[in-house]
Amino acid sequence: MMFENLRNLKNIRVVSGSSFLCLLCKAGRMLCGRSRCPILTRLGALLKHKEVFDLDVVEGSSPPGVFVGRFGYPKVNVGPLVPPYHGDTSILDLPERWVGFSLDEILGFRSSLVWARFPVKVEDARKGGKLLELLQELAMSRKPVDGEAALTKKPVGTVILDSHAQPFGPSAPLKDFKVLTVKVDRLVEKYYYDYDLKAGEAVLRLYQAGVPVSKIQASLSLGMFGRLSSRKIVPTRWSITAVDNLISLSLLDEIKHYDTVNEYRVYVFRNLDNLFLAIFMPEAWSFEWIEAWFPGTVWNLNGQKPELMGDYEGFEGRTTYADVGGCYYAARLAVAEALKAERRQATVLVFREIYSGYTMPVGVWNVRESLRKALKIKPQVFQTFQEALKFASTKLKIPIKEWVKASVILRKALFQKKLIDFL
């Protein structure tokens, strides 16, 4: 049935980094090693909303949602995300609520949103313009906004299969955009019009006031904060990590003055065929994030064994960007929030095992929100590190000896003698 539907749709493109392998497989032999075909999974999500491919005007309630692309920087595409229906669509662009939903459900959220894009220069945040100002007003909204996006041509859905792409809905160039009444968040509006306040300070004040991280990230990406002469539009991908990094650093400045936790803790949580396991140790702040991609996953497509990669920081923090990218900062934010809530510090080691059922990446929100959830669950508590590690080994598929090879904290905990050991 899916292939019958595809014959009638000319507005879907499939781009694969392993096109020859896909041609041999034809979704029947699973030669990529994944448990299900990512092409068919993604196409299935798009086909559930196939009516949008015949539209040149999309009318619906934006969650509110906006997106800023990164290709062509410093000239990029920006635009609203609009589904072809009205109502409470807030969940479509609110990852804080996505934990517990299946991969298919999340793909459904994203696939129903049409990205109506138009080109801007990143410096345009300083001088505005009708469409950009309307988009910034949309980003300030507290609730879904009814709107109408007139397109220059019918939307195109692109299924991209490579190690960097994330699932996304169909898109088309924007000709005109109209919205009905927008009920703005007055605090976001206040900092939007404050041309003397630094962008970082605006981000922190909004976070402290309880504004969702995803909303702050969207506003920052549209260049809505900071001194007017310094404002720039920031690709969504970059703004997400910038906000995670900025907030977690602010929290850590305070956390480092607290007493340490007084026991060893192990937190375990599973989501979207990912296992998250965090070990808290009663020592001064240090942090390590290690992820293990199993064969058949996007970062280890044709591997024969899990591939581990990670990054570490000591008490003084990092001076370079983490090699593993945005996941590191998303994880650090979740950990910092948990420690701040109980006014403690700790050495924290977080493992993530990604299994073949995680057929495509859905964004670093999965790390942040899964760990937020994990750290609110009652942990297993131990009096020694050896006991905690023994328990962790019963939850992880990869042997501890393999984690030791990749981990700075594990090697220190297991092999480095401390002064107290000689007393």
Instruction: Indicate the range of 36-50, 71-85, 401-415 predicted with least confidence.
Output: 36-50
pLDDT of residue 112: 87
pLDDT of residue 415: 86
Please report whether residue 339 resides in a domain: yes
Q: Cβ atoms within 10 A of the Cβ of 121, count?
A: 14
Please report whether residue 224 resides in a domain: no
Please report whether residue 325 resides in a domain: yes
pLDDT of residue 42: 59
57 vs 36: CA distance, rounded Å: 34
pLDDT of residue 420: 47
Task: Read off the pLDDT band of 155 (50, 70, 90).
Answer: confident
Task: Read off the pLDDT band of 23 (50, 70, 90).
Answer: very low
Please report whether residue 229 resides in a domain: no
Q: Which of 159, 180, 201 marks a domain boundary?
A: 180
Residues 171 and 276 in one domain: no
Task: Read off the pLDDT band of 293 (50, 70, 90).
Answer: very high
168 vs 85: CA distance, rounded Å: 18
Any bridge partners for residue 371, and if so which?
Answer: none
Residues 168 and 27 in one domain: yes
Please report whether residue 405 resides in a domain: yes
* Cis ω for the linkage preceding 64 (within 30 of 0): yes
pLDDT of residue 128: 84
Residues 11 and 138 in one domain: yes
How many domains are there within the chain? 2
| Contact assessment for residue 372 and residue 334, using Cβ atoms and an 8 Å cutoff | yes
Is residue 152 pLDDT above 90, yes or no? yes
pLDDT of residue 21: 45
Q: Which of 129, 146, 180 marks a domain boundary?
A: 180
Please report whether residue 367 resides in a domain: yes
What confidence tens digit (pLDDT) does each residue in 159-212 have? 555 444 456 778 899 999 999 989 999 999 999 999 999 999 999 999 999 999
* Residue-range definition of the domain harbouring residue 336: 264-422
Q: Which of 180, 212, 234 marks a domain boundary?
A: 180
pTM: 0.89
CA distances from 224 to 132, 166, 179, 418 (A): 10, 25, 19, 49
pLDDT of residue 197: 97
Residues 399 and 281 in one domain: yes
Is residue 34 pLDDT above 90, yes or no? no
Phi then psi for 52, rounded to 5 degrees?
Answer: -70, -20
- Mean local confidence (pLDDT), 52-65: 91
Please report whether residue 392 resides in a domain: yes
- Mean local confidence (pLDDT), 43-62: 78
Residues 160 and 269 in one domain: no
Please report whether residue 230 resides in a domain: no
- Mean local confidence (pLDDT), 12-23: 50
pLDDT of residue 419: 44
- Mean local confidence (pLDDT), 143-159: 89
CA distances from 382 to 262, 282, 389, 395, 407 (A): 10, 11, 10, 15, 21
